């Protein structure tokens, strides 16, 4: 699930979409979750945000690379193999940018919930 979330976050960021990604359910209520997210992203360094932007660009490329393969795959087993290969490459992209998948997802969630942070990361990605 975390790998899928990383994929969704990166794809949304790279495309400039503002729609909320499908994140795993959080046990906190809406306002508590927003306050928690605000506190978490206050701890993100510029280096972490730059690493997130770089990883997001790489993941967007990986997504494009595997989209056609996924569409061409015949049967659920073949589709699952394509997804696994894509997820492995996406996780590697996150790790090669000195982030853990969990950190990447936290930043991604904060970016989706904070338009100013989203603009900052989008500028870093350019």
- The tens place of each residue's pLDDT in the chain, 126 residues long, gives 454 455 545 554 454 432 223 223 333 344 445 545 454 546 899 999 999 999 999 999 999 999 989 889 999 999 999 999 999 999 999 999 999 999 999 999 999 999 999 999 999 888
Q: Name the residue range of residue 95's domain.
A: 2-15+46-125
Is residue 82 a contact partner of residue 62, using CB atoms and an 8 Å limit? no
Residue 29 lies in a domain: no
* Spatial distance between the Cα atoms of 19 and 111, rounded to a whole number of angstroms: 11
Residue 54 lies in a domain: yes
Residue 20 lies in a domain: no
Q: Is the pTM of this model over 0.85?
A: no
Is residue 119 a contact partner of residue 43, using CB atoms and an 8 Å limit? no
Residue 102 lies in a domain: yes
Structural domains counted in the chain: 1
Residue 24 lies in a domain: no
């Amino acid at each position: 699930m975390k790998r899928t979330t990383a994929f969704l976050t990166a794809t949304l960021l790279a495309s400039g979409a503002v729609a909320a990604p499908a994140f795993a359910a959080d046990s906190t209520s809406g306002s508590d979750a927003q306050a928690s997210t605000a506190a978490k992203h206050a701890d993100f360094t510029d280096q972490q945000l730059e690493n997130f932007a770089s990883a997001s660009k790489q993941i967007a490329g990986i997504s494009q690379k595997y989209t056609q393969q996924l569409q061409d795959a015949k049967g659920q087993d073949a589709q699952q193999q394509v997804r696994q290969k894509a997820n492995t490459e996406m996780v590697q992209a996150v790790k090669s940018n000195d982030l853990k998948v969990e950190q990447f997802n936290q930043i991604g969630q904060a970016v989706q919930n904070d338009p100013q942070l989203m603009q900052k990361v989008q500028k870093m990605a350019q």
